[in-house]
Structure formats: structure tokens, C-alpha cells
Amino acid sequence: MRTLAVVGGGVIGLSVAWRAAETGWAVTVYDPAVGTGASWVAGGMLAPLSEGWPGEDAALVFGAASLARWPEFANRLKAITGTDVFTADETLTVALDAADTADLRTIADFVNTHDLPTLRRGVSKDSVHGLRLLDRAGVRTAEPVLGRGIRAGLLSPAEGAVDNRALVTALRAACNAAGVELRAEKVSALDDLAQDRIVLATGAAAAQLWPDLPVRPVKGEILRLRRRSSTAPPPTRVIRARVHGRPIYLVPRQDGIVLGATQYEAGFDTTVTVAGVRDLITDAETVFPAIGEYELAEASAGSRPGSPDNLPLIGALDDRVIAATGHGRNGILCVPVTADAVMALLADRELPEAYAASPARFSSKSRIPAGGLS
């Protein structure tokens, strides 16, 4: 039997391990604390369209390819574990001033001109679900609980959200069901591993095991807010906005809201700062005034794996090691396409949708082959 070592037990590593075990690999996951890193400190947004911007075509197409895979991925996971990981079906990005309103038009015009796969769950393959601009009244109709200072909105019917912690738990269960061995061990050198193939999925720490990889930690702080019985219900959709130049998002959960996220170049520092919490709450109150009455249940921070061009690194590093890292703030979004890409590489093929994520784009003289495995 072919043997595979997956180094890193976040959502990327666990999804790869599960899928590989289902196809006949004997899989071992190495992580001293499976599922407790950046995957546990996440909002769970699936929003490649709302983040689109002219000139960033590769990121848009890659993200949309993963979004299109999410319904099948989630259904397979639910069939095994009984867990429905979705928490929202749509995303609404709101604007507070004229400049932000103009940006929403730019995003809509850019995204809607692309021939992207059908993205919304439960619709026919011939349906088209593009981004739709809403005026002030349209925003109020869609989400009456939002602040009256909002001037416009951009509705994305295809972009939902998942509960990241439910996802981690379900993936662990799926791995157990498929016979994956989870070892609470830290790998100091890939050459120490005896398996036939290795998948490097250690997120922000990937460069510690493969120094040529241009992956760095990007700190993000997130608050988990619990609704009290006397407070207004949270929005039904994911709400995104920019307040005082700072991006924020509110992601519904069964018991409240996940509010994020700050972003700092702070190395592996995961300390939650007073300033970060203050800014998140102050900005969120502008968008959703009732949030100040919610219970502050948790404040946490994680290290996202950033790359120079905001695309992940998925591809062969040599004839044995495959990289699956550098997903930045889109790690949850990119789970399905990353798993498919790694499965293709393990079969000595390549997934066309993942070409743009090849690590070879940063390498001129390293051990990374120009075309991956042939």
C-alpha cells in the first residue's frame, strides 16, 4: 500500500488526508495540536467574488473554482459525519460613503464579465448568479438590522459561509472513519519521514520545513460574540464592509456572530491586543448598531499563511514532496480545490484550475520543477 505523510493538521491537511485515505493511501497526519491553529481562528467566509478586483483575474478564477466545489465537498462530509457546516447562503458587502460605493460598482463590473462556473447550491447549470448592486432601500430590505448610514450594497447570492470549527471537527471524524492515523508530533525535517510521499500543509510555518517557500505569517484577530435573549438577531447573510479604511466582516453563527478581522505583519505573535478589539467593535457598531449588546464570548488571534501575490502554493516541490500552503485569509474557501489539486498530483497529474497556484512561479533555481510532476 502507498504511504503518505501529511505534515499539518489544519483544514487543508485534514481534507487532503481524508481524500487520500479514501483512494487507498495509508495516511499519517503529523501535528502536535491538530486543528487548533489558524483553522480554528477563522470566519469561514466563502467570498472570492466579493473580493475580486481588476487585474486579479487569477485569484478570482482560482477562488471561484473552489467555491463551485464546496456544495459537493460539504455533502460528502455530511454523509459521513452528519454535520452540516454551512451557516450562511449569501454575502452582502456594504458601502458607507461615495468612494466605497464606487468600489462596489467596480467589483461588480469586473466579476460579472467573467465566465465563471455555476456557484450557487441547488440551481441548474444554465443559471447565472452574478453580483447585484443594491441602493440604500435595497440594503434595508435585505438586512433591516444594519445601520442607517449604509448607502449601498453588493449582494452575492453564491457566496455563503461555513462554521470553521464544525468543519475541523467533521474533518477529524472523516479522517478517523477513513483510517487516517493522527500523530500529535512535530516534524523537524521532512527527510526524517519514511512515507512514500509527503504533503506539506503547515500553513504559516511551511517555510521552516522548506525555506524556499515564500510563505509568511499574517496575524489576524477575531471576536466571537454571543447573542443574548434581549438583543436583536444577527444579519442572516455574511456582512462585509470597510470602516475608516479598515475591512471588517460579520459572519452569522447559530449562537451569534464571528467578527473579524484585523491584519498585521507581526510574525508569529498571536496576542490579542486591546487596540485590535476596540477597532473591531467600534467599526462593527457602525454597520450593525446592536452588536454592542452582544456578549463578548471569545477574543483570539491566528497566523494566516500569506504569499506575495495572495494565491496559495500548491504543487510539487520535488519528486516526493507536495506543497499545500500559503492560502492567506482564504484557507477555508480553498479547501475543496486544494484537496482536488493534491489528489491529482498524487496521481502524477495536474489540476488545470490550480495552475496559477504552482510554487514554480516564485522559483528560478530551486528544487521546484517548472511544470510540477509529469
DSSP string over 211-260: TTS--EEEEEEEEEEE--TTSPPPPSSEEEEEETTEEEEEEEETTEEEEE
Q: Is the peptide bond before 261 cis (omega within 30 degrees of 0)?
A: yes
Mean pLDDT over 10-36 rounds to 97
Query: Phi first, then psi: what are they for 93, rounded to 5°?
Result: -100, 125
Question: What is the C-alpha separation between 326 and 201, in angstroms, rounded?
Answer: 9
Mean pLDDT over 141-164 rounds to 97
pLDDT per residue as tens digits for the range 175-193: 999 999 999 999 999 999 9
pLDDT per residue as tens digits for the range 315-351: 999 999 999 999 998 999 999 999 999 999 999 999 9
Q: CA distances (Å), 101 to each of 64, 140, 152, 318, in order?
A: 23, 16, 6, 47
The SS3 assignment for 71 reads helix
Domains of the chain: 1-88+160-213+308-374 (3.50.50.60), 217-306 (3.30.9.10)
SS3 content of the chain, % helix, strand, coil (to 5): 35, 25, 40
How does residue 263 score in pLDDT terms, banded at 50, 70 and 90?
A: confident
Residue 372 confidence (pLDDT) above 80: no
Q: CA distances (Å), 1 to each of 24, 181, 321, 329, 342, in order?
A: 7, 15, 18, 36, 18
Question: What is the C-alpha separation between 258 and 261, in angstroms, rounded?
Answer: 9
